Structure 1
């Protein structure tokens, strides 16, 4: 039976009630949730005024086993708990899992079996290698917290929960947000939790004593101040978010962007999408696909997600609509905003 894992919410609830584990493994792809979880443990475990004396960060590529364990065995200073965080942890485990380092690995595992109850040890991992015995032991002995990014459809509910959570703290004393405002905020900002959190805090300041944030608040606070780029437009089209794509086109033109630049970049975007469509017929490995297209691992994930939303015929049609828009802008008196908006509408809906 697989060991039960905690998630962000269950961890927050446990530490709020002072239920701490001596060793945690934080792993996943959402850096914002990892940082928030570390803060949650630190602020609930260590009293105000003495945190700097009871909080240490070490790096796996630098720290040696004996030094790490000596640090973990230190007593708290005027506090009931200490917190030690290890980053770059994969390098630490790769180092001690070598055959010549067997005694170090054994020493570390022995600590995990009998950890110091006064120290909370947080190990931050990106991609555990479960082929290595050290990781199997670690996941067996530590409290596992999986901190992965929410899916696209989960973002509005994450926004709503975050607003309620932040709204409980002074000086706000109770704030909520409408469902429509959550969706609009996601449309403007995207799925980055850190950026969403920043915009939520701006909304709190903008709305002041008002208890419920609505869509108009989001438009006034986020929409009017946000500068969009052609990459935002690509992402909105790739996600088939028609409302946001039209807004971005209008904002870019208002900011002085040339229609020809928008068309050129979108043509390049769909060319990449088409190449990926062809390559994926014979190659499934994202890393190899990224190398073939000279894209970063982050961007190849984005492109693959977007490719799933477009059929082959829809990509071909996109090129047709781009050419039509280019000809209309060059030869007709129709306003560029109308031409580009119609083009985006056809690409996303037809």
Structure 2
């Protein structure tokens, strides 16, 4: 499986230009992208009115090699291409591996070597058994598309691309979204691409002819679909996103979060950031930094990205502002919401005016 795989964007670009592979393998942990990829291939390969005659879905636990080949060798009806999607394909491949009829696996491999150029076969895999020879051959001979969920920090740019792409079509032509709105939409909805896409649809309808979707549109049209946590707050502070950070503080307090808990967790966050600042003076390898701080590879990337947004003096100032807020909450009659909002403002906005 040494061949370089395609991702969703590369597949999308190729099929938009009518460049199809005769056999695809779609696999990964993002079911939404798998379904979107199937839809993209079908819509670009077969005209809408002809799909009933040229599109078939089969299931690996129900079909045998003879039944599959009979579908693959059919001629298109008034179309350049046919598309056959096989779901639960690992069931089919495992049957071939266990079959006492070696010719079944041979027939399948021979088809992969010389596929029907008029038919596009899409093999959807939920699991990959890379030790089995049949999988090795499939990954060697097919066009493999890995469809994995974006990392947390990639979601805002995914939202922006999705809005821009959908904004290329009437009646929404020219519609885009601001960076801050992308971040707020993620904060409200989470990282489920399907849920985000549903909210984008709502936003398009809500904003109508308005070309730019902004933060206010998100607040009015989307609403809250998950509770904020202190981890969302520290991430938004780490990204120096002032508006989102203040929104999160207010929502957390409205939900009954205890202010000392927020202060304790933020102090712990900046302590980790400070340790990373010191360690990075002598160590640049992210893996070793992660081990030293007992962080996952994903989280060390996030912390390193956030560390680049703060100077040494600004991290020191953050501790000062946290201590000030703690003392005010304990000793003064000032409302905790005002204290925490001012603290967040001082941490995020310092030296940015």
Shorter-chain TM-score above 0.5: yes
CA distance in 2, matches of 1:149, 1:228: 19
Give the count of matched residue pairs.
Answer: 301
Q: How does 1:301-320 map to 2 (within 5 A)?
A: none
TM-score (norm 1): 0.70
Q: How does 1:13-92 map to 2 (within 5 A)?
A: 13-92=13-92
> Which secondary structure does the structure 2 equivalent of 1:148 belong to?
coil
Q: How does 1:39-188 map to 2 (within 5 A)?
A: 39-98=39-98, 100-188=100-188
- Corresponding position: 1:204 with 2:169: no
Query: Does the Cα contact within 8 Å between 1:228 and 1:248 map onto a contact in 2?
Result: no
> Which secondary structure does the structure 1 equivalent of 2:123 belong to?
strand
Change (3 A) 1:230 1:166: closer
Task: Give deviations 1:70-92, integer Å, cap 9, x for gaps.
Answer: 11112222222111111111121
Query: Does the Cα contact within 8 Å between 1:23 and 1:115 map onto a contact in 2?
Result: yes
- Corresponding position: 1:226 with 2:224: yes
> Which secondary structure does the structure 1 equivalent of 2:109 belong to?
helix
TM-score (norm 2): 0.69
Query: How much does 1:19 deviate?
Result: 1.1
Change (3 A) 1:337 1:131: same
> Which secondary structure does the structure 1 equivalent of 2:49 belong to?
coil
The unaligned stretches of length 5 or more in structure 1 are 264-302, 311-324, 346-350
Change (3 A) 1:56 1:47: same
Change (3 A) 1:4 1:341: same
Task: Give deviations 1:84-115, integer Å, cap 9, x for gaps.
Answer: 11111112111111152422111111111121
Query: How much does 1:168 deviate?
Result: 0.5
Q: What is the root-mean-square deviation in Å for CA atoms of aligned residues? A: 4.1
CA distance in 1, matches of 2:240, 2:225: 18
> Which secondary structure does the structure 1 equivalent of 2:94 belong to?
helix
CA distance in 1, matches of 2:205, 2:52: 29
Query: Does the Cα contact within 8 Å between 1:238 and 1:307 map onto a contact in 2?
Result: no
Change (3 A) 1:5 1:129: same
CA distance in 2, matches of 1:159, 1:169: 16
> Which secondary structure does the structure 2 equivalent of 1:49 belong to?
helix
CA distance in 2, matches of 1:127, 1:340: 47
Query: How much does 1:246 deviate?
Result: 6.6
Query: How much does 1:167 deviate?
Result: 0.1
Query: Does the Cα contact within 8 Å between 1:24 and 1:122 map onto a contact in 2?
Result: yes
CA distance in 2, matches of 1:230, 1:157: 21
CA distance in 2, matches of 1:141, 1:196: 35
Q: How does 1:228-267 map to 2 (within 5 A)?
A: 228-229=226-227, 247=247, 250-251=250-251
